[in-house]
A and B are shown apart, each in its own frame.
Chain A
Amino acid sequence: MTGKLKASLLAGVVGMAMVVTSGQATANDELKKLQTDPNQWVMPLGNYSGHRYSPLDQINKDNVKNLKVAWTFSTGVLRGHEGGPLVIGDVMYFSTPFPNIVYALDLNDNGRIIWKYEPKQDPNVIPVMCCDTVNRGVAYGDGMIFLSQADTTLVALDAKTGKKVWSVVNGDPGKGETLTAAPLVIKDKVYVGTSGGEFGVRGHLTAYNIKTGERVWRGYSMGPDSDILMDPEKTTHLGQPVGKDSGTNTWEGDQWKIGGGTTWGWFTYDPDLNLIYYGTGNPSTWNPVQRPGDNRWSMTIFARDADTGMAKWVYQMTPHDEWDYDGVNEMILADIDVKGKATKALVHFDRNGFAYTMDRTNGALLVAEKYDPVVNWATHVDMQTGRPQVVAQYSTSQNGEDVNTKGICPAALGTKDQQPASFSPKSGLFYVPTNHVCMDYEPFQVSYVAGQPYVGATLSMYPPEGADHLGNFIAWDASAGKIVWSNPEPFSVWSGALATAGDVVFYGTLEGYLKAVDAATGKELYRFKTPSGIIGNVNTYTHKGKQYIAVLSGLGGWAGIGMAAGLTEDTAGLGAVGAYKQLANYTQLGGVLTVFTVD
């Protein structure tokens, strides 16, 4: 990379890059059109804005009670099935957890397998993904399916035949770098993130040319300005220039080199502003005492120019993280009224328990409110500085190493993890799958060795005091910053939501239920128990004029580690396993696709 490039030269270099790329930027306007077609589901979050909303209304709040299974398909893989299927024309595509099989299923023939792609990967990648070996889906663009393999290989497959067109290696699993996030295609580029924050990797977002697999740019989460693709004068944080060397001078020594800030969540895009939005994960290690400073730009919302990668604005939600509150959750782009004013908003439900409403054109902070009342580690977010006001009792940094800080809410899992929320332009509400879990957290000294776990904390997780449930499914008003309705769930809701013009919202539960609720009130209208717990994301499409709902079951992921680990005994609670323990009474592992419809 351009690590030695002087910041003063950067603007000129980026300018040249823009000249070069602008001539070839129209290769894939196809996708911009396709994402508006409700009959298909062409990207994991439904559209570039990340709405997970469909204008379809054949299945609606009056007839959803008649929903029935149309067909099912076993993926042949255990482990956690996050993500969900795409539908392009008459074909459904999806990927599995390790070994990352990709299936193309024929919707004209009840899901007959058109092709199956199974990469050969070194099994040594399994323990550096531990646990779980999830994959959040494939991307489509320009007649190709793009797969992010666990071992960081990005593969382009011919959508018709499943034949490999090209592949490129994005990182080194030997250093703990892996891939779990779904890629995103914009114009002539495909974008991928990184995983491995628990191994001291340095996160980045990378753009590849979709025709050749050639790397176009890479923007790191921390390091010199030229590595981050950040202009000290022009890139802003809450309206102010970030200043020189912000990604190194907020770290002690060269700790930024192993600084984490991985990019394993979702990417969204505004074609008018030509900005790509995503969040960065926790700074490494989990022991905050070992890494003084704000640790910029971990835990940060990034808005980058999609062509050049240049950061337009950033906002760090959790400076100097002390709780593992990764900022990777999806950035939903919604044009809504915020406090009476029409706004091009970005709405983000962070792990740290605050829901942020921002002006996505310039990164101005408009609303920051708790979306679970039990959140206690900070009293509020200072709207001038953007900084959370940390409560000393729950500060694992202030309490120090070798001290077990108790009763922190939310737990490291966050009030919400990567499971994407939904926005209905019809109701104006956001529908959010959430966790309702608290924790004890004890940090201690840890040494960095490349490719070895770099954690430095033990956690215990359990329900909030007095609570008898571990999750909620809520409707949220992003202008007022208030919960509109909230449905308690026995377990965390770890499934991506779907809202439709039929005034129904769909989501899955860890016990395995697909549920449909009334978008206005949250009243349950339908439930069906699928073969395994659902941590996948619900989608919808039409085939031959008929609306279908599809979801992957397959318990696992962080929430399901207890189940993936096959435990049966009960306990007061240790890590995710303790809190989710009783799940064993409801469901077992196993990947299955279930497709629903009404007659």
Chain B
Amino acid sequence: MKCHPCIPVVAAAALFCAVSAGLPAAAHAQEGDKPYTVEGGKVDQGTYNGFRRYHSICHTCHGPDGLGGSFAPNLAESLKVLKFEEFIGIVAGGRQNVSASSESVMPAFAHDPNVMDHIQDIYAYLKARSDGVLGRGRPERLAQK
């Protein structure tokens, strides 16, 4: 696929990749404190894509709508503390918490373009959930400008 060669260089490369693939920058969530646009419950294309990508991969452990569970933490809560750089580091590198009473294993997604090419969007979606500006369920999309 078009993004493969740059994926192993992890986070920054993946971000670059999304841009270099020729996608219009405006279609993606923006960086910064509020990397999303939510108006009247409707979201920008990037945040919507984040919802979609989250719910095809991450939700099996982290629960629907980022609410977490006994397999993995509530990300709507985690993102109140985690900064974007920490978030992307964990997604790319994974982490393990395995003991007699706990078996939590976060896989490393550094080589998965289905995650890393969309990591900004996934972050934007979860940040909107974390900030309490986006409710549960499939959001409506704002009209393309």
Hey, which bits of chain A sit against chain B, CB under 8 A? 78, 98, 123-124, 126-128, 130-131, 286, 404, 440, 442, 444, 446-447, 449, 452-460, 561-562, 564-567, 569, 571-575, 577-578, 589
Contact = CB atoms under 8 A, between A and B. Distances in A.
Nearest to B106: A127
Query: Chain A at the B interface: mostly helix, strand, loop or mixed?
Result: loop
A447 B107 contact: no
Contacts of B106: 127
Given A564-B70, A565-B71, A452 B64 contact: no
Contacts of B63: 565-567, 577
Interface in B36-81: 51-52, 55-57, 59-61, 63-65, 67-71
B56 A569 contact: no
A457 B114 CA distance: 11
A447 B113 contact: yes
Given A457-B56, A567-B64, A571-B137, 15 more contacts: A127-B107, A131-B60, A442-B52, A446-B56, A447-B113, A452-B115, A456-B114, A458-B138, A565-B67, A565-B71, A567-B63, A574-B138, A575-B59, A575-B64, A577-B59
A74 to B, nearest CB: 16
Given A128-B107, A449-B111, A460 B138 contact: yes
Contacts of B113: 447, 449
A578 B64 contact: yes
Interface of B: 1, 3-4, 51-52, 55-57, 59-61, 63-65, 67-71, 96, 98, 103, 105-107, 109, 111-115, 136-138
Nearest to B56: A455
B71 A569 contact: no
A123 B98 CA distance: 8
A456 B71 CA distance: 22
Contact of B68 (A404, A449, A565): A565
B136 A572 contact: yes
A130 B71 contact: yes
A571 B65 contact: yes
Given A123-B96, A455-B56, A572-B137, A566 B69 contact: yes
B103 A123 contact: yes
22 contacts: A123-B105, A124-B105, A126-B105, A131-B61, A131-B71, A440-B138, A446-B56, A447-B1, A447-B3, A447-B112, A447-B114, A452-B111, A453-B57, A458-B51, A564-B71, A565-B64, A565-B69, A566-B69, A567-B69, A571-B137, A574-B65, A575-B55
A52 B137 CA distance: 40
A48 to B, nearest CB: 35
A574 B3 contact: no
